[in-house]
Amino acid sequence: MRQSKMLVPTLKENPSDADIASHQLLVRAGYIRQLASGIYTLLPLGKRVLSKIEKVIREEMDRSGAQEMLLSALQPAELWQESGRWYTYGPELMRMNDRHNREFALGATHEEAMTSIIRDEIGSYKKLPMTLYQIQNKFRDEKRPRFGLLRGREFLMKDAYSFNESYESLDESYQMMFDAYCRIFERLGLNYRAVIADSGAMGGKETHEFMVLSDVGEDVIAYSDTSKYAANVEMAPVVQTYEKSAETPLEKEKVATPDQKTMQEVADYLDHGLDQGLKSIMFEVDDKYVLVVTRGDHEVNDVKVKNLYDAKVVELASEEDTKRLMGAGFGSLGPIDAPEEVEVVADHAVEAMVNITCGANDEGFHYKNVTPGNDFAPDRYADMRFIEEGDPSPDGKGIIQFARGIEVGHVFKLGSFYAENMGATFLDNSGKSQTMVMGSYGIGVSRTLAAMVEQFHDDQGIVWPNQVAPYQVHVLSLNPKKEEQRVLADKIYADLLAEGLEVLYDDRPERAGVKFADSDLIGIPVRIIVGKKAGEEIVEMKRRDSDSKEELSYDSVVEEIK
Q: Is the dihedral of CA 250, 252, 257, 263 positive or negative?
A: positive
Q: Which helix (H) or strand (E) holds 411?
A: strand 401-415
Measured from the CB atom, is 151 or 312 closer to ligand ATP? 151
Should residue 444 be labelled a site residue for ligand ATP when binding is judged by CB under 6 A?
yes
Q: For residues 276 and 386, is the Cβ–Cβ distance under 8 A?
A: yes
The interface mask with ligand ATP, positions 107-146, x = CB under 6 A, is --x------------------------------x-x----
85 contact choice in ligand ATP, Mg ion, none (CB below 5 to 8 Å, kind-dependent)? none
The interface mask with ligand ATP, positions 521-550, x = CB under 6 A, is ------------------------------
The interface mask with ligand ATP, positions 319-358, x = CB under 6 A, is -----------xx---------------------------
Should residue 155 be labelled a site residue for ligand ATP when binding is judged by CB under 6 A?
yes
Distance CA 93, CA 463 (A): 36
* Nearest distance from C-beta of residue 59 to ligand ATP, angstroms: 19
Among 152, 249, 480, 525, binds ligand ATP (CB under 6 A): 152
Distance CA 39, CA 28 (A): 17
| Count of residues touching Mg ion (by CB under 5 A) | 3
Tell me the Ramachandran region of residue 402: left when phi exceeds 0, alpha when psi lies from -120 to 50, beta otherwise: beta
Among 48, 110, 295, 410, binds Mg ion (CB under 5 A): 410
Q: Choose the stretch contacting ligand ATP; rule: CB under 6 A; options: 127-135, 244-252, 286-294, 442-450.
A: 442-450
Distance CA 84, CA 90 (A): 12
User: Closest Cα to residue 66, out of 135, 164, 133?
Assistant: 133
Distance CA 288, CA 298 (A): 28
Query: Residue 93's Cα: distance from chain center in Å?
Result: 17
Q: Which residue number is nearest to ligand ATP in terms of Cβ?
A: 444
Query: Residue 113's Cα: distance from chain center in Å?
Result: 20
Distance CA 224, CA 399 (A): 6
CB-side neighbour CA atoms (13 Å) of 458: 12
Among 447, 508, 527, 542, binds ligand ATP (CB under 6 A): 447
Measured from the CB atom, is 407 or 520 closer to Mg ion? 407
Q: Choose the stretch contacting Mg ion; rule: CB under 5 A; options: 70-78, 161-169, 297-305, 326-334.
A: 326-334
* Nearest distance from C-beta of residue 58 to ligand ATP, angstroms: 17
The interface mask with ligand ATP, positions 284-323, x = CB under 6 A, is ----------------------------------------
Should residue 331 be labelled a site residue for Mg ion when binding is judged by CB under 5 A?
yes
Specify the DSSP class assigned to residue 425.
E
Tell me the Ramachandran region of residue 152: left when phi exceeds 0, alpha when psi lies from -120 to 50, beta otherwise: beta
Binding to ligand ATP in span 179-198, by CB under 6 A: none
SS3 of 174, please?
helix
Neighbours of 452 (CB within 10 A): 22
Q: For residues 48 and 7, is the Cβ–Cβ distance under 8 A?
A: no
Should residue 359 be labelled a site residue for ligand ATP when binding is judged by CB under 6 A?
no
Binding to ligand ATP in span 394-423, by CB under 6 A: 407-410
Q: Length of the chain, please?
A: 562
The residues binding ligand ATP (CB under 6 A) are: 109, 140, 142, 151-152, 155, 157, 330-331, 407-410, 442, 444, 446-447
